[in-house]
Structure 1
């Protein structure tokens, strides 16, 4: 029997990319997954596909920038399956541009989704995990959370923040609750589609030629979940072999 059999896992940003790949992989290995994202039709389609292959999946429309929606999402997960083993804070946006472009609305969007979204996931899930006496947060950062690059100052700042939040949470939580921070390198996803700055979009298009499939990050997530309860995988960087940064 799979180690994941019966585990209840809530995933944000699950309508495409890493979130979708993770939901499919974990459900295929026996987990009960709850998908959250803003795009209803995508969620319906992915959930239906998982069920058609014998997996156990539910979904709920979710905007991670709204604390009340995140609370509803995590509470729905617990009410549906009786517990919450893992929360994967995966939702993110990446509208890159130079600071001089002054795309303040895009800066605020990254702060709201990439930072507040993770904090809302923690706020919704931590009381439940404390009451249960077990649980795991998996927060998706980025290699942009380890080094800054041109056009990515604000994006990198948000991902540095995710690492800091993850490390602080790890040090503060009670025994039985694990915290994992995963930093993907360039990975196939729709993140680049949020770039409105044409120069930044072209740079990213070239950079993404070595992208690894989102399933690679899903496997890293699975690895972190499958470890014994006394093993906490705190930090992982997963990047293309061809990457030099």
Structure 2
């Protein structure tokens, strides 16, 4: 199991799981091209990485041209793309009765179209290479629906369907797929929740002893999956705190 010299593109890399994955991959010898919307956060992540192991630029995953540019940066810098990790996502929790159509649209744009943009940007390159690996952050909310997260869960169910369709379509092209579905992870995801009380309650739960994963826990899982031999395809990787139902 090794990611040595593999080239991996990571979105949503300015904090949380994305940031931790970039650091874990480069520590294990991979070359990483990463992006997110916040330039200053990306600069901060880059300062912690070994020289010559990375490239980065700002990217809004809802804009296909920006995602395509990030993937092309990997090819220009390192000559290939072994894996793409679609990690960007938002989770503005609230009941459907609030009718927050703007938040619903944002979730669809980021959580679903962002994934599709990544797939569309990288497939031509992987077809030309004759291999590749596409991973996407899903959620355990993509397996079970909870109150106040119906739309979020809907986007994550959609991601599972898209990734299964991708797997079936791309078997013939030697392209592997993986859905990474974490339970509770202590990240900045709560910042997309519009109600401050709901957001704080979630953070309080995460901060209870052993009630949430660390981003590094998920990053290690992602690195493991990317490092498996080409003959191995881990299609779904569910990871949760041991005490989570």
Structure 1 partner of 2:119 = 122
**In structure 2, what is the Cα distance between the partners aligned to 1:108 and 1:26?**
32
Cα distance between partner residues in 2 of 1:199 and 1:193:
12
Cα distance in structure 1, aligned partners of 2:133 and 2:112: 18
Secondary structure class of the residue paired with 1:49: coil
User: Aligned partners of 2:34, 2:124: CA distance in 1, in Å?
Assistant: 20
The TM-score with structure 2 as length reference comes to 0.95
Q: Which runs of 4+ in 1 moved over 4 A?
A: none
Q: What's the counterpart of residue 177 of structure 1?
A: 175
In structure 1, C-alpha distance between the alignment counterparts of 2:38 and 2:199, rounded to whole Å: 23
Give per-residue Cα distances to partners, 1:195-220, cap 9 Å, x unaligned: 11245324423442311100111111
Partner of 1:58 in structure 2?
Answer: 55
- Tell me how far 1:55 sits from its aligned partner: 6.1
**Partner residue, 2:212:** 211
Aligned length: 241
1:35 maps onto 2:34 in alignment: yes
Aligned match of 1:194 in 192, 197, 216? 192
Whether the aligned pair in 1 keeps the contact of 2:30 and 2:53 (CA below 8 Å) is: yes
RMSD: 1.2
Task: Report deviation, 1:175.
Answer: 3.6
Partner of 2:134: 137
Cα distance between partner residues in 2 of 1:55 and 1:74: 17
From 91, 106, 117, give the equivalent of 2:88: 91
Extract unaligned runs of 5+ from structure 2: none
Do 1:30 and 1:55's aligned partners in 2 also have CA atoms closer than 8 Å? no
The equivalent residue for 1:227 is 228
SS, match of residue 58 in structure 1: strand
Contact 2:186 2:203 in 1 (8 A): no
